[in-house]
């Protein structure tokens, strides 16, 4: 593969020597006399394999140019080698600390210049190829992980004859609330996973209780109330993702402290669980259940507003109300 190198040096003789060496070796070179020339080159967006910079030049030194190159997102991964007549070890150490890949001292031998240029380019290409392969494998693993999680959630949802896609909708609503609340993308992805798995504990509840038409007995309701703790226990075995258990255990806590299983209140309830609590209740009201049909949108809105500060954190309840108000066609419901 052809190698492309940009050389910046205010010494015309040095540039000619480098050009002669590169031409003989078949290296495509771009030869510039100043930092101003380099700036003009960078604005064109052309991507070389390497920058070869002289340290001492009248308008800008090599350290300034190195910083300029590596703060540009287009060029930040392109390696830089300093070309200098300076024998000061402190200068070399400062350059390496600033991000230079190597130093070549003048006067230089052609074979030394070519070897160091070639090795630096090859090492950078190898690093980039490995990084790309790691990203591809990570994305593949992430997709597989999501598919496994969705399959597990679907198996839980399937226990309820009357609801379909509840966990996925709760996850989507939770992520949107988190996004509007200013959570980072990584935090939004995390809460999405927690939302999908928030009801996983129901896998241990009898189908007859989950699908019972009419009012539950005290014993049956007590059985239902065990699913948050069971879900947290199940998910707690996933050592690499301990946060998954948070949504499962505390999504039925209430802001006023009257929820279960632990009776937490206010800020003692993890934020993500407070978000999932709103999303979960919203989807429950907008879905068909064994004991009733989905509620009308205005009734759902009124209930969210009424429970703000009691059942729900007012901050996240208000975001849910905004989402409802924007949903003029009432699409946020079980289809």
- pLDDT tens figures, 252-291: 999 999 999 999 999 999 999 999 999 999 999 998 776 6
Residues 164 and 219 in one domain: yes
Is 147 a member of any domain?
A: no
Beta bridge partners of 308: 312
Structural domain includes residue 246:
yes
Quote the tokens at residue 324: 């409802």
Judgement on whether residues 205 and 59 belong to the same structural domain of the protein: no
The pLDDT of residue 145: 66
pLDDT of residue 319: 98
Q: What's the CATH number where 50 sits?
A: 3.40.50.2300
DSSP string spanning 197-221? Answer: TTTGGGGGS-HHHHT--SPPPHHHH
Q: Which helix or strand (DSSP H or E) is residue 105 part of?
A: strand 102-105
Interval 40-60: pLDDT, tens: 888 888 889 999 998 888 777
Does residue 334 sit in helix, strand or coil?
A: coil
> What's the pLDDT tens digit per position in 136-188?
776 776 676 677 777 777 777 767 665 678 889 999 999 999 999 999 999 99
Burial of 101 (0-12, 13-18, 19+ CB in 10 A): buried
Of the candidates 94, 96, 39, 46, which has an alpha carbon nearest to the alpha carbon of residue 69?
Answer: 39
Rounded to an integer, what is the distance from CA 331 to the centroid of its chain?
28
CA distance 14 to 31: 10
Confidence of residue 227 (pLDDT cuts 50, 70, 90): very high
Mean per-residue pLDDT of the chain: 88
The model's pTM: 0.62
What residues make up the domain containing 39?
4-132
Range 16-29 average pLDDT: 92
Residues that are catalytic: 202
Q: Do 176 and 60 lie in a common domain?
A: no
Percent of the chain having pLDDT more than 70?
95
Strand partners, 81: 52, 102
């Amino acid at each position: 593969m052809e190698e492309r190198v940009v050389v910046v040096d205010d010494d015309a003789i040095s540039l000619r020597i480098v050009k002669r060496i590169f031409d003989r070796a078949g290296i495509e070179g771009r030869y510039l006399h100043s930092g101003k020339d380099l700036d003009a080159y960078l604005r064109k967006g052309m991507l070389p394999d390497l920058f070869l910079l002289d340290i001492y030049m009248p308008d800008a030194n090599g350290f300034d140019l190195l910083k300029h190159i590596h703060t540009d997102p287009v060029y930040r991964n392109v390696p830089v080698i300093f070309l200098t007549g300076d024998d000061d070890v402190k200068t070399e150490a400062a350059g390496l600390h600033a991000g230079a890949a190597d130093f070549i001292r003048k006067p230089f031998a052609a074979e030394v210049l070519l070897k160091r240029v070639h090795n630096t380019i090859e090492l950078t290409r190898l690093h980039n190829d490995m990084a790309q392969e790691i990203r591809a494998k990570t994305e593949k693993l992430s997709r597989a992980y999501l598919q496994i999680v969705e399959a597990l959630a679907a198996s839980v949802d399937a226990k309820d004859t009357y609801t379909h896609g509840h966990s996925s909708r709760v996850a989507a609503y939770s992520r949107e609330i988190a996004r509007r609340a200013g959570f980072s993308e990584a935090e939004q992805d995390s809460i999405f996973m927690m939302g999908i798995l928030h009801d996983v504990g129901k896998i241990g509840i009898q189908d007859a209780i989950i699908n019972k038409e009419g009012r539950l007995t005290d014993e049956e309701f007590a059985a239902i109330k065990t699913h948050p703790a069971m879900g947290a226990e199940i998910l707690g075995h996933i050592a690499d993702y301990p946060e998954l258990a948070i949504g499962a255990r505390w999504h039925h806590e209430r802001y006023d402290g009257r929820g279960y299983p632990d009776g937490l209140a206010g800020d003692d309830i993890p934020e993500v669980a407070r978000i999932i609590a709103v999303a979960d209740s919203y989807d429950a009201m907008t879905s068909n259940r064994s004991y009733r049909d989905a509620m009308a949108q205005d009734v759902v809105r009124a209930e969210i507003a009424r429970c703000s500060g009691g059942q729900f954190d007012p901050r996240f309840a208000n975001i849910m109300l905004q989402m409802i108000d924007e949903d003029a066609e009432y699409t946020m419901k079980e289809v």
